[in-house]
Chain A
């Protein structure tokens, strides 16, 4: 029996479309939902901040889209394992906290050699973390290779405070003058 040409073409179209649909079902399936609003009490401890910061790092903050932790080789963006230790040495006069805060609020102010600029300003859309959420992310980053010092009371230079390094520098200068 000869199948009419039109029917043949319908079968081919259906088969090929079906095949591509099957390929689509074979890859990992993941729904991406908008970030949820995270209520952060002002009374939480630094250890609790680290936990919340980690969840923001992996979720709402989209940090893990680009940054890895504990990977080496040809990376597109800096690996963050041991960042607390390195952060204190990145810029003269900056403490680890100063550097991490600047990296989040003004990411293009310092770009690690060998990498391209491109990190978004974290407190602006599309990421748009709040100042409290950023504090928890800093707590988490400080925990990577160091001891977190930040609390929910910490004032950063971007939230009405001053740089720790500058304060320390001033104190040192005063001490020398005395």
Chain B
């Protein structure tokens, strides 16, 4: 009975839509009649002679018709889009398509993993969680396809000559793309609607295939856009030499990897935002516990994607430099250099919000108090790294200030604006966030192995050595030539990755058979949920900004160095304008994703309590997987893990 208002709203919405369409049609007919020419006194009879004006109009019409008949066919190069122009129209539609596509590609990745955990442990709650994530996909997939079709038609209509050129190069890739798209639709809807209808293994297979074909689609589309940036396989005049070479251009594989990871981070954050939205609207503690857990897992997925993302970014940037130093320098030191200051603010916020969420999350774990003392030092390090990363090399200053400083760089802070400092800051930022994860992971666990103290000491030494390596290379970067300095980023990245790997291995081994304390899912400050929303908004905005950078790097070229942009939009707009377009796109996206959340929420809430209770009945004892940081680690003797604790919270509420 509770669903009635929703059904009523949908019915009213349909009626309103139909009424609006009828009204608009009638309005158009009325205006058309009013604006049509009417003889001043009465309609001209057949016998009446034409006025000079009518004769002139008729002659003009005949001349135009004749001119149209004799005019040879010419392919139009560009067509204009009203009001905002062709570029902004394509920009917004392409970005919306990418945002939904990223979400649709990402969610099945972690949904399948969660489902697999559920199958392996026999815990229905994981299955229910995977289904809840998948519920977000159906409408999102339709929106992705809609924006994709819109983008294609707009490219053909607004940039016909350039689109034709891309078809000339990439036509062999179109059929596989279309077939994969059909396959994705098939796998997606079978995976979603077949939940509980197939055997678990068959259903899992459907999910895996959904990921495989989805990734295949992304990889093909990436070839088109990376070719525009770093063309290959064509002659200087643009004639096709090899389609495969055009596909496997300089930035194709780095973009494939970067997008794959970024999609996971982004999809996790949007799914976490959905959970936060539901948490804030939850009617009881059982719902709060469920959505707290869901939000936590979404955020965990997002941060798992975020941490390796800068490394994938390094690779992409180095390939851009390898293709064209000019393009690389335009990116880092030319027109777009200030974009990286905006990016630093965004990524700094991402790390800050993510860490803050983890620290707030410790409040729900008994025994986490012993780690509270670490929060302020961690916050201080994050703030310092954030500030260094956001320090520009050149400062906006008046002429007098520039004279006083002896140049556009600040005499002291200018040293923090160079890559040596920024690379160091971002690596320490990643390391610090990993420490936060580690503390959170260990909050509810007390190791029982004999070598626990030695393990802790080893972890501390590894962190210290890693940080010293990063800082040491950062300082040395000021004293060496350019070629050597660029090479320093590799040992810096290597030191951080190695430390994370070694510390994780030690931690997993050390916490085997650990004593665990209770995790009170749902018992977390609402602020944490707003942080999840802010993370999703920031991720989305960052994707929009970096999409602008990737596209803008081509400057006045459709295909860099091969097909020149001669349209009125051939110039690169200011960062201020770009950020406005990004913001509008982000707001449209959140308007639409809000609709997706609302639809998903309609079918979930009533069944949730039942699922939770049934799952609890099936698993009264602790389950074998831990959804806390560092992954789904087998913890056969560990009690009080996430879903069990969630159910425990529910049962406590029920009994109280």
Contacts and interface: CB of A to CB of B under 8 A. Distances in A.
Nearest to B570: A34
Contacts of A72: none
A38 interface: no
Nearest to A35: B556
A25 B579 contact: yes
Interface string B261-305: 000000000000000010011000000000000000000000000
Contact of A25 (B324, B573, B576): B576
Given A5-B281, A13-B533, A65-B334, A32 B572 contact: yes
B571 A34 contact: yes
Contacts of B482: 74-77, 114-116
A140 to B, nearest CB: 19
A66 interface: yes
Interface residues of B, number: 63
A24 interface: yes
Interface string A12-23: 111011101101
B326 A16 contact: no
A115 B483 CA distance: 5
A172 interface: no
Interface stretch (B130-138, B373-381, B583-591, B632-640): B583-591
Contacts of B485: 74
Contacts of B280: 5, 8-9
B189 interface: no
A28 B335 CA distance: 10
A159 interface: no
B325 A31 contact: no
A23 B579 contact: yes
A3 to B, nearest CB: 11
A126 B338 contact: no
B137 to A, nearest CB: 21
B562 interface: yes
- Secondary structure of the B side of the interface? helix
Contact of A120 (B236, B325, B420, B583): B325
B530 interface: yes
B66 interface: no
B48 interface: no
B537 A27 contact: no
B345 interface: yes
- Secondary structure of the A side of the interface? loop
B342 A65 contact: no
B341 A32 contact: no
A66 B537 CA distance: 35
A33 B568 CA distance: 10
A114 to B, nearest CB: 4
B342 A12 contact: no
Interface stretch (B27-35, B210-218, B473-481, B490-498): B473-481
Contacts of B325: 66, 118-120
A62 B530 CA distance: 45
Contact of A32 (B329, B564, B571): B571
B335 A125 contact: no
Interface string A142-167: 00000000000000000000000000
Interface string B508-548: 00000000000000000000001001100110010000000
Given A65-B333, A114-B481, A17 B586 contact: yes
A126 B324 CA distance: 10
A34 B86 CA distance: 18
Contact of B533 (A12, A28, A31): A12
Contacts of A43: none
B578 interface: yes
A77 B329 CA distance: 11
B42 interface: no
A6 B572 CA distance: 37
Nearest to A116: B483
Contacts of A12: 530, 533-534, 537
Nearest to A114: B481
Given A5-B281, A33-B571, A116-B483, A17 B541 contact: yes
Contact of B326 (A21, A33, A62): A62
B273 to A, nearest CB: 9
Contacts of B571: 31-34
Contacts of B562: 125
A23 B342 contact: yes
Interface in B549-573: 555-557, 560-562, 564-565, 570-573
A76 B279 CA distance: 51
Contact of A27 (B277, B281, B342, B587): B342
Interface of A: 5-6, 8-9, 12-14, 16-18, 20-21, 23-25, 27-34, 62, 65-66, 74-77, 114-116, 118-120, 124-127
* Leading 10 A-B pairs by shortest Cβ distance: A24-B579, A118-B325, A34-B556, A125-B561, A32-B572, A29-B574, A114-B481, A27-B338, A126-B561, A76-B482
Interface of B: 236, 277, 280-281, 321, 324-330, 333-335, 338-339, 341-342, 345-346, 396, 418, 420, 477-483, 485-486, 530, 533-534, 537-538, 541, 555-557, 560-562, 564-565, 570-576, 578-580, 582-583, 586-587, 590, 594
27 contacts: A5-B277, A13-B537, A14-B587, A20-B582, A25-B576, A25-B579, A28-B338, A29-B574, A30-B574, A31-B574, A33-B572, A34-B555, A34-B556, A62-B334, A65-B333, A74-B420, A74-B478, A114-B482, A115-B481, A115-B482, A115-B483, A116-B482, A116-B483, A118-B328, A120-B324, A126-B324, A126-B561
